[in-house]
Amino acid sequence: SWERADILKELKKQVKKTRFEHILRVEEKALELAEKYHADKEACQLAALLHDYAKDLDVKVVKKLQKEAHIDDEMLAYGSNVWHGPMAAYFAKEKFGITNPEILTAISQHTIGGREMSLVGKILFIADYIEEGRKFPGVKKARRLADKNIDRAVRYKVIQTLLHLVENEKKIYPETLEVYNQWV
C-alpha cells in the first residue's frame, strides 16, 4: 500500500499549490476529529489526502474515464464542483489501490454529502468544511458544532451549503436536495 510521502508526491503533481495546502489542513482536521469521535484514523487520513485529487483534472480526462468512474452525463454537466468527489474515488481505487468502501464512499460523497454517511464520511465532510484555512461566515458555529456533535455539524453544513448555492443562483444537483431532505 501507499506511503503518505508517496501520496503527497502524486498530489503535488496533480493539484494546484493552494489546493495542496488545503488538503494538508483537511488531513490535520480529519485526524483531530477521528481522535475525538474514535474513528479509524488511517481511514480518515487517507480519505482526507485523496478527497480533492480530481479537482483540477482536465474535463477531457474526465470524459474518457466517465463510464468507468460511474459519472453520468447529468453529473458531468454540473461541472467539477459536482464530479470531483466521484472522480477522486475512482482514482483512490484504481490508482492508489484503496479497497475500503468506507473510504471510497467518503471521498465520493465529500462535496454533496450523503443521505446515509459513515463516521469516516461525516468526518471528511466536516474536516473539509472547517479546516483552519476556511474563512466564511458561519465557520465558527460549524467548528463549535463539530466539537460537540458531528451529526449537528453535518446537518448545519448541508443546510448552509444549499442556502449559499441558492443565494448565488447556482444550479442544485438533485442529490444535493435529497441529502438536504434527509438531514433537515
Residues that bind ligand DGI (CB under 6 A): 22, 52, 55, 78, 81-82, 110-112, 128, 161, 165, 170-173, 176
3-state secondary structure 138-177: CHHHHHHHHHHCHHHHHHHHHHHHHHHHHHCCCCCCHHHH
Query: Which of 99/168 has CB closer to ligand DGI?
Result: 168
Q: ∠ CA 118-146-158 to the nearest 5 degrees?
A: 65
- Residue 109 Cβ vs Fe ion, minimum distance, rounded to whole Å: 11
Please say whether the beta carbons of 154 and 143 come within 8 A.
no
Q: From 38-46, 120-128, 140-148, 171-179, give the range in contact with Fe ion by CB under 5 A.
A: 120-128
**Residue 168 CA: distances (Å) to CA of 141, 142, 162, 163:** 21, 21, 10, 9
128 lies in the site for Fe ion, by CB under 5 A: yes
The closest of 47, 15, 11 to 126, measured between CA atoms, is 47
Angstrom distance (rounded) from CA 20 to CA 86: 19
Nearer to Fe ion, 38 or 76 (CB): 76
Q: Locate cell 473510504: which residue?
A: 103
In the complex, least distance from residue 96 CB atom to ligand DGI, rounded to whole angstroms: 18
Residue 78 interaction partner, one of Fe ion, ligand DGI, none, beta carbon < 5-8 Å per kind = ligand DGI
For residue 149, the minimal CB distance to Fe ion (Å) is 22
Residue number with CB closer to ligand DGI (99 or 184): 184
Query: Using CB under 5 A, which of 14, 15, 52, 150 touches Fe ion?
Result: 52
- Contacting positions for Fe ion (CB under 5 A): 52, 128
